[in-house]
Amino acid sequence: MSLYDRVFINNQAWIAEKKATDKEFFQKLSQGQNPEFLYIGCSDSRVTVEELTGAGPGDIFVHRNIANVVSNNDLNVMSVIEYAVAHLQVEHIVVCGHYYCGGVKAAMQSSDLGILNPWLRNIRDVYRLHQEELDAIDDEDARYKRLVELNVEEQAINVIKTAVVQKAYLERGTPIVHGWVFDVHTGNLIDLEFNFEEKLRKIQAIYNLTRVVQ
Ligand code: CO
């Protein structure tokens, strides 16, 4: 039986399993959500954040798109960030990329991909910003992996550029923005451990949006 044919059977099995450990599970779930963090990741079917982190329903607010891009004129991702920070008051925002990302790979190649061109342009821009470092890496696989990491870092910086994140951090000291990479080859989730405060300071030298114009 194909997965498509199995989904509703699987769903019933999942309900039974949840109720077996907690009778009130769905009653509690229907009372609202209070997720601790926002996860911005790639749409890639192999990168299933809940499964690989052990999170359950209600734990993580999620946005996924091709190559985990945070573009300032993308109403979708910007609305997700606004809602997660201003309304759900998440404490952490994670941008998570993954090695062997088809979107990043496509952005390293010279081909016309139609409507994907403007999307992948975001990643080509990351390459241009770090061209010196990337061009110096001879091994293509290593260069590709490094671009995945740099893309995570630049997209996290794009999150930090938003007014809602800067203002919330000034008022309550959260959210903290993190960068992760999932290694599809080993299953490891890697924290790039960048210094959020330092990044925020650098960004605010140019992109400070915390002041209200009278
Ligand atoms: Co991907």
* Residue among 6, 46, 172, 185 flagged as catalytic: 46
SS (H, E, C) 32-77: CCCCCEEEEEECCCCCCHHHHHCCCCCCEEEEEECCCCCCCCCHHH
Q: Is 128 designated active site?
A: no
Summarize pLDDT for 112-169 with one digit per residue, the tens. Answer: 999 999 999 999 999 999 999 999 999 999 999 999 999 999 999 999 999 999 999 9
pLDDT for position 214: 63
Report yes or no: 196 and 177 within 8 Å, Cβ to Cβ: yes
Q: So what's the pLDDT on residue 207? A: 93
Please answer whether residues 130 and 150 qualify as being in contact, where contact means their C-beta atoms are separated by less than 8 angstroms. yes
To the query of whether residue 101 is one of the catalytic residues in this protein, the response is yes
Evaluate whether 65 touches 151 at the Cβ level (below 8 Å). no
Please state, as a whole number, how many other Cβ atoms lie within 10 Å of the Cβ of residue 153: 18
Question: What are the residue ranges spanned by the domains of the chain?
Answer: 34-45+55-207
At the topology level of CATH, where does 34-45+55-207 sit? Answer: Beta-carbonic Anhydrase; Chain A (3.40.1050)
Residues 103-121: tens digit of each pLDDT: 999 999 999 999 999 999 9
Active-site entry in 63, 96, 98, 178 = 98
Average pLDDT of span 16-27: 95
Whether 98 is catalytic: yes
